[in-house]
Amino acid sequence: MAGSQFGKAFRISTYGESHGPGIGVVIDGCPAGLDLDLDLIEKDLQRRRPGQSKIVTQRKEDESFEILSGIFEGKTTGTPISIFIRNKDQRSKDYSHIAQKYRPSHADFTYDSKYGIRDYKGGGRSSARETAARVASGAVAKMLCNHYGIKITAYVSSVGSIKAPEIENPDAEVIESNIVRCADPSAAEEMIQLITKIRKAGDTIGGIVCCVVQGMPVGLGEPVFDKLHADLAKAMMSINAVKGFEYGSGFKAAEMKGSEHNDQFYTDSDGLVKTDTNHSGGIQGGISNGMDINMKIAFKPVATIVKDQNSVDKEGKATTVTGKGRHDPCVVPRAVPIVEAMAALVMADHILRNRQSKL
Ligand SMILES: Cc1cc2nc3c(=O)[nH]c(=O)nc-3n(C[C@H](O)[C@H](O)[C@H](O)COP(=O)(O)O)c2cc1C
């Protein structure tokens, strides 16, 4: 299956299925000499982990990881870094009901039609279990970003119709202080109540994750096909269940006049060129302009619901599918570290690529 690699200079290849022996990632291109903090990898994997709170799936996936290569005495050596996460607590029999049937709006029909063979246990390769490999490699990318002064913070800004204000300077401590990972604790309470209600009804609900990248240098992003926002869009749209991506003014730009939308330049007291508004979302002509990058990523209500739904089996005969197994009523609390990881992978890649841009 092609399409398991991401990035050009800082490149990852992920592998593994939900109910196979394990999943993992090989990072190629990470420079030598980076201090690798294993606790940061562990911390981000725990933030993505199922079973972390009452509002996420109660699957108990083991997130303990092994680094198989690329590290010596706590530092990267410049050789491929391989990270392996063994699968445990798989209940493969939970999925026998979908061996011959297609779950509506999941990946069953398309995988079967394309390949003629499908690992249906836990969704196989289409399972969000794969995102643990992104989060592990994203944590390494975050360390490289930190080295260059770039900080990435994501938070939940909406669940269903409950919306929290978007924050310019999100506080990671506040975000992690509530189980929904919202930057506004009072909206978080309402979101938790809604997710609990949805879960009891056997249904699922969508939501939005916002992500802010601070400390950006000017100059990341490559014209013309590898524009920074194009790579960010691909990174975010490749996350399971993502339906929408916006950066800067996003779809609101279509309603605005140039006189409202233009970000006017000025030079600040440190002599840095800034803009007085940030409708460009920190990117102009596909290249970072030094302002913060702000993005919004929309997640759908995931497919597994505990209700009878019309479907077809492998022979195309009409059948009924009812969600069993353990699943997420709303994925956005667990998606926060995944969004941060994908943003970090894009930034790490472009930091390294930018070093070749001029003499
Ligand atoms: C953190 C996370 C957890 C997910 N958990 C579930 C789940 O429990 N049940 C489910 O049907 N889909 C779940 N998904 C979404 C599926 O992986 C995804 O819908 C499926 O692969 C089909 O891809 P698509 O929705 O992007 O088209 C989850 C996604 C994420 C990001």
Per-residue confidence (pLDDT) for residue 322, from 0 to 100 = 85
Is residue 70 within 8 Å of 36, Cβ to Cβ? no
- CATH C-level class of 5-354: alpha beta
The DSSP secondary structure of 145-174, one letter per residue, reads HHHTT-EEEEEEEEETTEE----SS--HHH
Per-residue confidence (pLDDT) for residue 18, from 0 to 100 = 92
Q: Which helix (H) or strand (E) holds 133?
A: helix 131-147
Per-residue confidence (pLDDT) for residue 316, from 0 to 100 = 95
Residue 326, pLDDT above cutoff 80: no
Residues in contact with ligand 1 by the CB-under-6-Å rule are 57, 106-107, 126-128, 131, 239-241, 302-304, 327-328, 331, 334-335, 338
Q: Which helix (H) or strand (E) holds 188?
A: helix 185-200
107-136 confidence digits (pLDDT tens): 999 999 999 999 998 889 999 999 999 999
Q: List the single range of 32-41, 49-58, 124-133, 182-191 with lowest mean pLDDT.
A: 49-58
Q: Which helix (H) or strand (E) holds 231?
A: helix 228-237
Q: List the single range of 96-105, 177-186, 231-240 with lowest mean pLDDT.
A: 96-105
Identify the residue whose C-alpha is closest to ligand 1 atom 8: 327
The DSSP secondary structure of 292-353, one letter per residue, reads PEEEEEEEPPPS--SSEEEEEBTTS-EEEEE--S---S--HHHHHHHHHHHHHHHHHHHHHH
- What is the distance in A from the centroid of ligand 1 to the CA of 34? 33
Q: What would the mean pLDDT of 269-293 be, rounded to a whole number? A: 98
Q: Which residues contact 80 (CB under 8 A, 6 or more apart)?
A: 26, 27, 28, 69, 70
Q: Which of 331, 336, 340 to mutate for ligand 1's pocket (most ligand atoms within 8 Å of CB)?
A: 331
Residue with tokens 């506040």: 174
| 238 backbone dihedrals φ, ψ, rounded to 5° | -85, -5
The residue count for the chain: 359
Q: How far is CA 308 from CA 70, 112, 320, 321, 327, in A?
A: 49, 22, 6, 6, 16
- What is the distance in A from the centroid of ligand 1 to the CA of 179? 19
C-alpha closest to that of 97 among 357, 326, 251, 325: 325
Coil vs helix vs strand at 79: coil
Q: What would the mean pLDDT of 238-243 be, rounded to a whole number? A: 98
Q: Locate 39 and state its tokens.
A: 């606790």
Report pTM. 0.97
- What is the distance in A from the centroid of ligand 1 to the CA of 223? 33
Identify the residue whose C-alpha is closest to ligand 1 atom 27: 241
Per-residue confidence (pLDDT) for residue 159, from 0 to 100 = 98
- What is the distance in A from the centroid of ligand 1 to the CA of 83? 23
Distance of CA 73 to the CA centre of its chain: 30
Each domain of the chain, given as residue ranges in start order, spans 5-354
d(CA 302, CA 242): 10
Buried/exposed 163-188: b ≥16 CB within 10 Å, e otherwise: ebebbeebeeebbeebbbbbbbeebb
Coil vs helix vs strand at 52: coil
Amino acid at 113: S
**Per-residue confidence band for 58, with pLDDT thresholds at 50, 70 and 90:** confident
Residue with tokens 């401590």: 173
Per-residue confidence (pLDDT) for residue 90, from 0 to 100 = 66
DSSP 125: G
Closest atom of ligand 1 to CA, residue 326: 8
d(CA 163, CA 186): 11
C-alpha closest to that of 294 among 343, 226, 338: 343
Amino acid at 356: Q
d(CA 94, CA 172): 36
- What is the distance in A from the centroid of ligand 1 to the CA of 111? 14
C-alpha closest to that of 203 among 320, 133, 300: 300
Per-residue confidence (pLDDT) for residue 91, from 0 to 100 = 66
Residue 65, pLDDT above cutoff 70: yes
- What is the distance in A from the centroid of ligand 1 to the CA of 300? 9
